[in-house]
Chains A and B, each alone.
Chain A
Amino acid sequence: MEFRFVRALRVAVVLVLMCGFASAQRVPTVKAHIDPITVKLGAQASLYVEVENAQAGEIGTLPTVEGLRFGPVGPPGMTSYTEIVNGRMSSKVSLKWRIAVQPLKKGEYVIPPFTVRADGRDLVTRELRLLADEDFRGDELGLLEIEAPSEVWQGQPFTLVIRLGFDTAIQGRLNRYDLALPWLGELGGLVELEDVPIPSGRSAGKILLNSRQELEVEAFGTRKVGNANFYVLRVQKRFVATRSGSFTFPASHFEFGHRGDGFSRLLGGGSDDFSNFKRAPAFDVLVKPIPEAGRPIDWSGGVGTFEASAIADRRDVVAGDSIKLTVEWTGEGNLEFFDVPDLARLDAFRGFRVYGTQDRKTPNRRAVTYDLAPIDAAITEIPPVPLSVFDTKSGKYATVATKPVPIRVRPLVGATGLSTPESAAAAMTDLRDIQTRPESAVRPWAPSGRALLAGGAELLVAWFVLRTFVRRRGDPDAPRARARRRARRDLERALRLARTPDEQASAVHAFLAARSGETPEAWAGRDPVAWTRSREDDAPRIAVEDAAALRQLLARLDAAIWGGGGASKLDDREVLTLADRVAAGGL
């Protein structure tokens, strides 16, 4: 079992090596052919280029063949497959391009060999041939006319009117319509503009344009040509030339026919498929340059024949009110492209403020709405809005102007200066105006920085000195000191609350105790005069006369207490006055 497995593995390795060897030995080759080799004039053929045994490749420049148009060269399609021939396995990779080829006139075309570069090698194709024959049936049954101006001015839009159609006798058999305009997007200096819209109410349909995109066409009715009736469609395409000179539009074709769908082809259908081509000959359009001579500085870039009109939404306003002025330009010309006038830069609009514009563009109309505000009651009209254009009819520069719009501007009541140059300048620069009111011309006095520094330092020193001095007499925040400071306030409150002489006496004793640092009981029955005489010099005490008055007050309170129930209390103010004297006297 194990032996079989090893053998199979060996065979596989040999096969892989052989395969690699075989593929390494292969040289890239190129093949090219055209299909079909005969086409009707207007139809397309395909040029197939295939390179085998190459991983990468590119087609160089395709040869130039007069009357033959090559389509764009896209990236190649890559195919890889493995084959076994005589027991040997080999792997193949091929690259394949398909390029559209369209003959523009009748004849036999020879495509000379061209180079294809594959994996670093240059390969050369063989010579190829293509036969293009006229489609007499298409010429008979189809219709294609292109109406173009013979000459236009540079910058002037022009319209190509394309009429296409087919015999109504075969209308029921047709399901494919393809308009081939090979010059579309290919002519340098020619810019395609937005299509002319189909008028509302006209029936429209869709056909193919250049086999790639859909194109909306206008049904234009039927036309009798000889004995046949043609169903006619119309397309209008607009262009503007950005350079002067002659533009040659190559021949165009209209393909009409029938083609079965993919499903019917699969079932063997397709035998009734057909295509016919109607050709329109090549034509030229000459583009004349815009003259430099006489070109105004304010030329807007407008080219064509223009008409201008203006309409204002309000015509009776107060100075400063907004007016919407809509200016409309119509006519044949490059309405989408010219620069609209900037009213703020026109001298005629000096009496107006221009706040903004709104621009709307269509191919046949240009409308600009200006937001204006007259700033002077003397204004009687909105001046004409001029537009400098190049008139294609006369071939000269001209100015198209609107008519003036009469307006009434009422003055602002109670306001001044909307139109004064001063405020206009302020509005322009958005600056606050100069100041003209004289101010104080004296530099105010202030303490110098050094003085402040010195003051700060002195403050700290003073605090330290004061604090030390105060602390020498004791801690001011001690309970006794706080009670002493609070004694007068407590006495006042206690006297206010006292109802009897007894309570008054208690309040006085509490006051004296707080001031002297003793208990209230110590003052019960004490003679203040004897007490003050017994005090040392530096101890708190009472002046002798105040002590005598205090002794009398206390005696009166005692008398009132012990004198019977009818005794009234003393006057609070008298007590407080004496308390203040006692405190001020040194207690």
Chain B
Amino acid sequence: MRNRILTWIVLVAAVCACSLSARAQAASRPEPRDATAVAAYRAGDLAAAREGWLAVLAAEPRVEGDERARILYDLGNLAFREEHTAEAVGWFTASLRLRPRDADTWTNLERARRAAELEPADRGDLGATVRRLLTAFTRSESHWLTLIGLVGFGAALAFEALRGGRTARWLVLGGAGFAALCAAPALHTAWTRVDHPALVVEDGKALVRSEPRNDAAVVGEAALGTEVETIDALPGWAKVRLGDGTEGWVGERAVFALVR
């Protein structure tokens, strides 16, 4: 009897939490701030649409979360229509960092990469699939997931502390695995995290120079579509670090910042 009552209490609490969460989300959903940009895009005035969306991105208070991802996505579509396919790849990639499971963004990203003659972002092999699974959560989602894993692991530890025995030990092992699985996206994000990621959008390849001068020695090359880290900037120039650790300067327009 007591168990049944407890079950009901938990169920009612869960329903209330869901409803409150939905209400909170609805409350945080703003009125569309980019109506002018959307209208300009529909009318074919791409310059006005770009200006409108960039203004929304720069506005204070800063637009965050899914809304920001949506605007980045729309800017990707706009760049694609302007036939700036490499830039479109950059916008879609930036959008996916904020909203990694959006099917439209993935579709358009792959389309833009194809148009820019780049390899697909998701090649469909095992490595790519695992990578996509690990990056399928936003930062906050991966942290919540980690917390869930820790709670499960904690429950298993508590059981083991109170009861002991072989079953409890197996439970602890399972709990540790569950926690590791839940924490994997967050760990992957932490492991691969780059402070200022950028995408090379120069046609063909960008020449990395030792100094921010056009006649400086070339110390490396970065192919179109390569992800690099921006570590410094000067007017017209950006200092980047390549995947192999090479550091050097490229033209400011050769790279597209992925955190926007």
Contact = CB atoms under 8 A, between A and B. Distances in A.
B143 A434 contact: no
Contacts of A447: 143-144, 146-147
A165 B65 CA distance: 92
B150 A439 contact: no
Interface stretch (B161-169, B241-249, B251-259): B161-169
A449 B190 contact: yes
A470 B162 contact: yes
B158 A466 contact: yes
Nearest to A435: B70
Nearest to A469: B161
Interface in B24-49: 25, 28-34, 38, 41-42
A448 interface: yes
A429 B111 CA distance: 9
A439 B29 contact: yes
A420 to B, nearest CB: 10
Contact of A477 (B31, B33, B78, B164): B164
Nearest to B21: A444
A449 B186 CA distance: 8
Interface in B217-239: none
Which of A430, A435, A437, A462 is the most central at the interface, judged by chain B CB atoms within 10 Å of its CB?
Answer: A435
Contact of B67 (A441, A446, A449, A460): A441
B67 A440 contact: yes
Interface string B147-166: 10010011001101111110
Interface string A484-518: 00000000000000000000000000000000000
Interface in A126-168: none
A438 B67 contact: yes
Interface stretch (A88-96, A210-218, A235-243, A451-459): A451-459
Which of A439, A440, A452 is the most central at the interface, judged by chain B CB atoms within 10 Å of its CB?
Answer: A439
Contacts of B144: 446-447
B147 A466 contact: no
Size class of the contact patch on chain A: 35 or more
A443 B66 CA distance: 8
A434 B66 contact: no
B163 A434 contact: no
Nearest to B147: A447
A433 B73 CA distance: 10
Interface in B54-95: 63-70, 73-74, 77-78, 80-81
B143 A477 contact: no
B191 to A, nearest CB: 12
Which of A434, A437, A463, A466 is the most central at the interface, judged by chain B CB atoms within 10 Å of its CB?
Answer: A434
B108 interface: yes
Contacts of B30: 438, 441
Nearest to B31: A438
B140 interface: yes
Given A432-B104, A449-B190, A463-B157, A438 B146 contact: no
A463 to B, nearest CB: 4
A545 interface: no
A444 B147 contact: no
Contact of A435 (B33, B73, B165): B73
A422 B43 CA distance: 9
A369 to B, nearest CB: 30
A466 B77 contact: no
A460 B66 CA distance: 36
A583 to B, nearest CB: 15
Nearest to B138: A444
A436 interface: yes
A580 to B, nearest CB: 12
A132 to B, nearest CB: 66
Contact of A476 (B65, B143, B164): B164
Given A435-B70, A446-B139, A452-B150, A476 B162 contact: yes
A459 B65 CA distance: 31
Interface in A263-299: none
A477 B138 CA distance: 42
A355 interface: no
Nearest to A422: B42
Given A443-B65, A447-B147, A429 B81 contact: yes
B51 to A, nearest CB: 15
B192 interface: no
B81 A476 contact: no
Given A429-B81, A434-B38, A439-B67, A445 B73 contact: no
A442 interface: yes
A194 interface: no
A119 interface: no
B150 A455 contact: yes
A477 B163 contact: yes
A286 to B, nearest CB: 50
B3 interface: no
Contacts of B42: 422
B65 A442 contact: yes
Nearest to A456: B150
Contacts of B111: 429-431
B141 interface: yes
A462 B65 CA distance: 36
Nearest to A436: B38
Contact of A441 (B68, B160, B183): B68
Given A446-B140, A452-B147, A459-B150, A440 B28 contact: yes
A475 interface: yes
Contacts of B157: 459-460, 462-463
A455 B147 contact: yes
B21 to A, nearest CB: 10
B108 A431 contact: yes
B77 A433 contact: yes
A206 interface: no
Contacts of A456: 150, 179
A223 B165 CA distance: 118
Contacts of B25: 440
Interface string A159-180: 0000000000000000000000
Contacts of A430: 111
Contacts of B74: 434-435
Interface string A375-404: 000000000000000000000000000000
Given A438-B31, A447-B147, 7 more contacts: A439-B70, A444-B138, A446-B144, A452-B143, A460-B157, A463-B154, A470-B161
27 contacts: A431-B80, A432-B108, A433-B77, A434-B41, A434-B77, A436-B34, A436-B38, A437-B32, A438-B67, A438-B70, A441-B29, A441-B30, A441-B65, A441-B67, A443-B64, A443-B140, A446-B139, A449-B143, A449-B186, A449-B190, A452-B150, A456-B150, A456-B179, A460-B157, A463-B160, A476-B162, A476-B163
